[in-house]
Structures are given as structure tokens and as C-alpha cells.
Amino acid sequence: MNLDIIPCLNDNYSYLIQDKHSGKVAIIDPSEFGTCNDIISQKYKKLDFILNTHHHIDHVGGNKELKKKYNSKILGFGKDKKRIPEIDILLEENQEFYVGDLIFKTLFIPGHTSGHIAFFFEKEKVVFTGDTLFSLGCGRIFEGSYKQMFDSLKKIKSLPGDTKIYCGHEYTKNNLKFCLKLNPNNIYLKDKEKVIEEKLKDKKPTIPSTIKDEIQTNIFLRCDDLDIKDALNLKNASDLEIFTKLRDLKDSF
Ligand code: ZN
Ligand code: FE
């Protein structure tokens, strides 16, 4: 798989992937036409598929113009068909789909929106998580319940540890501050801080992370950590209660 990270708008990431065998090209969450088209027209000159993780404008903003120019097929969650502009192929939970020889599985991960999905390329060990799991953070809960988001993160957490995570935004620096505040003694987090600072200093994306890395450092995936429970003064709380508290605190961080 060839993979290009395309920084878009303020802090969005769109991603281009190509199957080396068939040459088929897909874009994940095109935020805008211009920036995405620049690299497509230079490098591939074609676009077979447009994959949307959810309906927010900063993830579907390029749908219409890209489809018009390249005659691409747009894929999104079937139950969100009214909200994904120009959708052609309606994906269901756990549905598999081929981009050339590359196969992905559709993971249904509601919470940020009620129809949010991830694209998991098991053989390539790559997952596109949209605005559900970020590096060191998770998305805001706009349409779902805390429980739904918690369960969606649990689903992502269960993927193989060496799976690379490509998420929808470069929010890592702010997320890091929040994690350090509540989990200051986490040695993995301190190591990750150095790596992140290096990358940002060189103006590079902090993406991708990995599942293993996130489990070690992302406090939203560590709601069973006694140090975090302690820091919140919620020693006897359930993991879901901890998650709820963390999400609320982060909303106003
Ligand atoms: Zn969003
Ligand atoms: Fe977004």
C-alpha cells in the first residue's frame, strides 16, 4: 500500500492510498478539493474511491468536486446515506470491501456521530479512525452516548497492537498536555512527549500512532489506570465513569 498524508484546512488530515498491484487509488475523508486534487493530479491522475468516516463537512468537503473530476465512487455508512454527500456505495457494519487487492473491514464506531465508521485494513495493519480515536485523545461526543463512545474505543483497542492509526486531526500536542496533567508518572507518555516534540519541531505529522502506543499513553484508553482514578479523586468509580469524567474535563480543557 502506498499512503500519502495530506494536511488540509487548519488541522485536518486526508489520506490517499494506492494498491500497488492494481493501481487503484482511494482517498479517506477529503476535507477540501484543492489540496487533495493537487496531489492526486500530480501523482496518480485518477481516483477510484472516496471513503468517508462520517458526515462532518471537514471530512466530506471534497466529495462533490473530486467525484465530478475523477468519476469516483463514494463510500460511507449506509444508515448515514442522507448526510454523506453524493454517496454511491452503502457500507454496513463489518462489511468488507476491496480497493484493488487491498481489503478493508468497516468498523461501526458511533459516539462522535451516530453513523461514524472506521476502515480497517487488517493485512496492511492500518486503520483510519476519523474523529473517534486521535493520538492521545478521542473525539467529542456530539450525537452518541458516553457508553457508545467508550465501547467504540474498546473496539479499536482490540485491534492488533502493531496496527497503525491514521486519524482525522493533528490534535496531538493539546491532547498530550491533557494526558500529562492526569497521568504525569506514565513513563511511556514521557517518552512519547519527546518523540512528538521532535516531529512537531520538524513540522512533521505526529501520525501515525499505533494501537499498542495508544494503549500505553492515551488516557481515554486507560480508564482502568489507578493513577488516573486517583488523580480524578474517583478511586472507586467504574471505567465508564472515569471515561465520562475525562471526556467532560477535556471538553473544557
Ligand atoms: Zn467530525
Ligand atoms: Fe473532524
From the CA atom positions of the chain, what is the Rg in Å?
18
* Distance in Å, CA 187 to ligand 1 centroid: 31
Instruction: Assess if residue 192 is contained within a domain.
Output: no
Domains in the chain, number: 1
The CA-based diameter of the chain, rounded to the nearest angstrom, is 57
Confidence at 125, pLDDT banded by 50, 70, 90: very high
Torsion of CA 130, 134, 139, 144, to 10 degrees: 60
The answer to whether position 240 is within a domain reads no
227 is annotated as an active-site residue: no
Q: 19 lies in a domain? A: yes
CA of 237 to the centre of ligand 2 (A): 30
Beta carbons of 61 and 33 less than 8 angstroms apart: yes
Whether 120 is in a domain gets the answer yes
Neighbours of ion ligand 2 (CB under 5 A): 58, 131, 168
Interatomic CA distance for residues 65 and 30, integer angstroms: 10
Which amino acid is present at 37? N
pLDDT digits (tens, 9 = 90+) for 188-199: 999 999 999 999
Alpha helix ranges (H) inside the chain: 33-39, 57-60, 63-70, 146-157, 172-182, 187-201, 211-217, 226-231, 239-251
pLDDT attached to residue 64: 98
112 catalytic residue (yes or no): yes
How far away, in angstroms, is 136 Cα from ligand 1 center? 17
Ligand 2 centroid–CA 29 distance in Å is 9
Q: Residue 63's pLDDT band (boundaries 50, 70, 90)?
A: very high
Angle, CA of 73, 77 and 83, to the nearest 5°: 85
Q: CA quadruple 41, 168, 206, 160: dihedral positive or negative? A: negative
233 three-state secondary structure: coil
Domain membership flag for residue 131: yes
142, part of any domain: yes
Ligand closest in space to the Cα of 14? 2
Whole-number Å distance, alpha carbon 236 to ligand 1 midpoint, is 33
Q: Is 59 a catalytic residue?
A: yes
* CATH number of the domain bearing residue 139: 3.60.15.10
Residue 56 bears catalytic tag = yes
**Mean of all residue pLDDT scores within the chain:** 98
Closest ligand by atom to 54 CA: 1
Q: How far is the CA of 83 from the centre of ligand 1 (A)?
A: 13
Which residues span the domain enclosing 127?
2-171+206-217
pLDDT digits (tens, 9 = 90+) for 198-215: 999 999 999 999 999 999
* pLDDT for 187: 97
Q: Active-site residue among 19, 29, 48, 131?
A: 131
Q: Please indicate whether residue 169 is annotated as part of the active site.
A: yes
Q: What percent of the chain has pLDDT over 90?
A: 100
Q: What is the pLDDT of residue 216?
A: 98
Q: Is residue 40 part of a domain?
A: yes
The amino acid that residue 238 corresponds to is S
Query: How remote is the CA of residue 217 from the centroid of ligand 2, in Å?
Result: 22
Q: pLDDT band at residue 177, thresholds of 50, 70 and 90?
A: very high
How does pLDDT run across 13-51, given as a tens digit for each residue? 999 999 999 999 999 999 999 999 999 999 999 999 999
Residue type, 158: S
pLDDT bucket at 229, cuts 50 / 70 / 90: very high
